[in-house]
């Protein structure tokens, strides 16, 4: 009787192991297919950038280029002025991430950790900024920018920073609320000022939140088109997205050159993810848990 029970238990274990292996293989295949679907647009865009119009639309829509037209990149860089637009986008993004991150961190700290009468009203006003669509703010901002005679980089930097702050304050406020107040009280007892407490103690603790905010701000600023196409008329200050859009001609368009510009615009995001994928995932998970 005992022998039969042991044989049955071993048989059940084997079947369960086989089921687990089959399940593991099914998960791997599903993940592989999901990765292939996600990577296909990126691969197609690279191949798209190395073709001419006839291949793109008629003879070779999906396959490898019959002639690898690297001159599309030369046209985008030399004739299209992509490098200048690329530098502008890097400048806009870097300044927006830095300034909005610092202002949001200090504002959220004042709202959540300090005691003053109007902090609830101020917090509500900032959060209301999330509910304002860009399209609704486009015309009023255009009028204000013209009246203030803002031009050049400031015409875009000020709106970018202003629109990045509300979401940043919302995320950072959740992080600040999770920090015990005993840490600040101990620092104040030791003679640390409010600025020293913030920059030396609190700011390092909320680095995951800062990373989360920086990621969202980077993506939003780098890919922004509406403000950049409306507020900047001088080609010297336009962003990469507007520069790529300007490749489209009135009567004819070299779509391969546009594809080359799109590849150049996508490279920074891909490179950042390749080198900072773990930090990006950790910051997003930390933001989801603490927020």
- Chain segment 153-164, per-residue pLDDT in tens: 899 999 999 999
Give tens-digit pLDDT for 173-195. Answer: 888 888 888 888 888 888 888 88
Q: Which pLDDT band, with edges at 50, 70 and 90, does 291 fall under?
A: very low
CA atoms within 13 A on the CB side of 70: 0
pTM for the predicted model, two decimal places: 0.81
Q: What is the mean pLDDT of residues 103-115?
A: 89
Q: Where are the domains of the chain?
A: 2-48, 78-290
Q: Of the candidates 171, 95, 89, which has an alpha carbon nearest to the alpha carbon of residue 130? A: 171
- pLDDT on residue 209: 82
Whether residue 250 has pLDDT greater than 60: no
Give tens-digit pLDDT for 3-60. Answer: 554 555 666 666 777 777 788 788 888 988 998 888 888 888 999 899 888 888 888 8
Give φ, ψ of 224 to 5 degrees.
Answer: -70, 140
Q: What is the mean pLDDT of the chain?
A: 83
CA distances in angstroms from 243 to 44, 48, 158, 202, 233, listed in the order given: 21, 18, 20, 41, 12
Q: What is the mean pLDDT of residues 221-234?
A: 89
Fold of 78-290: MetI-like fold (1.10.3720)
- pLDDT on residue 215: 84
């Amino acid at each position: 009787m005992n022998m039969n029970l042991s044989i049955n238990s071993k048989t059940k274990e084997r079947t369960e192991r086989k089921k687990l292996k089959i399940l593991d293989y099914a998960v791997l295949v599903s993940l592989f297919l999901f990765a292939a679907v996600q990577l296909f647009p990126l691969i197609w865009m690279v191949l798209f950038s190395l073709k001419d119009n006839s291949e793109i639309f008629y003879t070779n829509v999906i396959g490898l280029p019959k002639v690898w037209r690297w001159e599309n990149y030369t046209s985008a860089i030399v004739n299209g002025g992509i490098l200048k637009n690329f530098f502008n986008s890097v400048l806009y993004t870097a300044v927006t991430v830095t300034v909005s991150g610092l202002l949001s961190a200090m504002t959220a700290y004042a709202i959540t950790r300090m005691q003053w009468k109007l902090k609830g009203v101020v917090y509500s006003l900032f959060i209301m900024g999330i509910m304002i669509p860009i399209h609704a703010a486009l015309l009023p901002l255009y009028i204000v920018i013209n009246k203030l005679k803002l031009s050049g980089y400031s015409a875009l930097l000020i709106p970018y920073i202003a629109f990045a702050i509300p979401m940043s304050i919302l995320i950072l406020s959740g992080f600040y609320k999770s920090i015990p107040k005993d840490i600040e009280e101990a620092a104040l007892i030791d003679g640390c000022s409010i600025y020293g407490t913030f920059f030396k103690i609190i700011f390092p603790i909320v680095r995951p939140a800062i990373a989360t905010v920086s990621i969202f701000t980077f993506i939003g600023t780098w890919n922004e088109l509406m403000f950049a196409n409306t507020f900047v008329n001088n080609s010297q200050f336009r962003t990469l997205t507007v520069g790529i859009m300007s490749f489209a001609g009135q009567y004819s368009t070299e779509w391969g050159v546009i594809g080359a510009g799109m590849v150049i615009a996508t490279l920074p995001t891909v490179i950042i993810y390749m080198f900072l994928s773990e930090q990006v995932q950790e910051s997003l998970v930390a933001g989801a848990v603490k927020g």
